[in-house]
Amino acid sequence: MTDSTWQLLLDSLWPMIHGAITGTIPLALSSFAIGLVLALALALMRLSRRRWLSSIARVYISLVRGTPLLVQLFVIFYGLPSLGVVIDPWPSAIIAFSINVGGYAAEVIRAAILSVPKGQWEAAYMIGMSHRRALTRIILPQAARVSVPPLSNTFISLVKDTSLASLILVTELFREAQQVAAFSGQFMALYLEAALLYWVICLVLSSGQGVLEKRLDRYVAH
């Protein structure tokens, strides 16, 4: 590699980090937050005794998990305008990623709720709790502990998937890399640099996951 390549990598480092800080990370965080709320609602619908609620959730989850994220993104950004619905790149990306996280995390949360022993519901009812209170105060805190590892994986996948937003013109880490690459012709070097940055972010997130799991560990028997 030549000195000029090194210089290019160094010069492009800040725009990429800037893209991560102003694009990748907020995009991932906001989509994840919205997606989790959606997922909790879907998981509860799936568990509902009302057939129609559970069916709606089942179809939604199946649809989201059975279609590519890129297609979902394109339908919202490039497809909806033909129906007269025009949404800016950022909100389009957040909507698509939230919908996607909602579908995947719903199954995680549902499984976590089901993994809490039946005796916990009974003890909650025994002390006089309503269904809703038993859920929020007794079942969900225990389900949350169980879902931390799988949801962390969902989040880490999401961080990487946000690179797809570059295809609907959202300025984030990967789009910065693409722009410098196109301009300089140094595709290999710049895309490897982008890969390295994603990797660093994921390493940080994985260690954060470890810390979180340890903190929540007191909740469960060994």
Partner 1 sequence: MSPTDQKLLTVRGLQKSFGANQVLTSVDLTVARGTVLALIGPSGSGKTTVLRCLNGLEIADGGTISIVGADDSRHAPVTIDFAAAHGTRAGVPKKALTNLRDQSAMVFQHYNLFPHKTVLENVMEGPVVVQRRDRAEVEAEALALLERVGLSDKRDSYPFELSGGQQQRVGIVRALALRPTLLLFDEPTSALDPELVGDVLRLIKELAAEGWTMVIVTHELEFAREVATEVAFVDGGTIVEHGDPKEMLRNPKHERTRQFLHRLLFPF
Residues that bind partner 1 (CB under 8 A): 117, 119-120, 122-129, 133, 137-138, 141-142, 145, 218-222
Reduced DSSP (H G I as helix, E B as strand, rest coil) percent helix, strand, coil of the chain, to 5: 85, 0, 15
Min dist CB 191 to partner 1, Å, is 45
Phi and psi dihedrals of 69, rounded to 5?
-60, -40
Minimum distance from residue 121 beta carbon to partner 1 (Å): 9
- Between 65 and 137, name the residue whose CB sits nearer to partner 1: 137
Closer residue to partner 1, CB minimum distance, 93 or 124:
124
Shortest distance (Å) from residue 172 CB to partner 1: 37
Which is closer to partner 1, CB of 91 or CB of 141?
141
* CA atoms of 35 and 112, how far apart (whole Å): 17
Residue 87, token pair as written in the block: 């949404």
Complex with partner 1: residue 84 or 128, whichever CB lies closer: 128
- Torsion angle in degrees (nearest 10) through CA of 103, 36, 27, 154: -60
Angle at 103 between CA 58 and CA 145, to 5 degrees: 105
Nearest approach, Cβ of 126 to partner 1 (angstroms)?
5
Burial class (CB in 10 A: 0-12, 13-18, 19+), 125: middle
